[in-house]
Copies of this chain bind each other. A is one copy, B any other.
């Protein structure tokens, strides 16, 4: 097994794979139906053999998560 320093490792399944010329867009569906969009290089997507339905984890550093809040007249 491998342990990562990234604080968010979200298990899900591959919902959709859209290969571009250089990059590939992958939609990961988490349990409950929430979807996360990831863009990785096409070469990585192929090396990882990412296909729809496969189990996959979305890995996100805590410092890459910004926050947004609704406010009146802010």
Interface residues of A (CB under 8 A from B): 1-10, 20-23, 25-26, 28, 30-34, 36-41, 43-45, 47-50, 54-74
Contact = CB atoms under 8 A, between A and B. Distances in A.
Number of copies: 6
Given A22-B23, A39-B41, A63-B39, A71 B34 contact: no
A39 B47 CA distance: 17
22 contacts: A1-B70, A1-B73, A2-B68, A3-B47, A3-B70, A4-B67, A5-B38, A5-B41, A5-B45, A5-B48, A6-B66, A7-B39, A22-B22, A22-B39, A31-B32, A32-B34, A39-B62, A48-B69, A57-B69, A58-B67, A61-B66, A63-B63
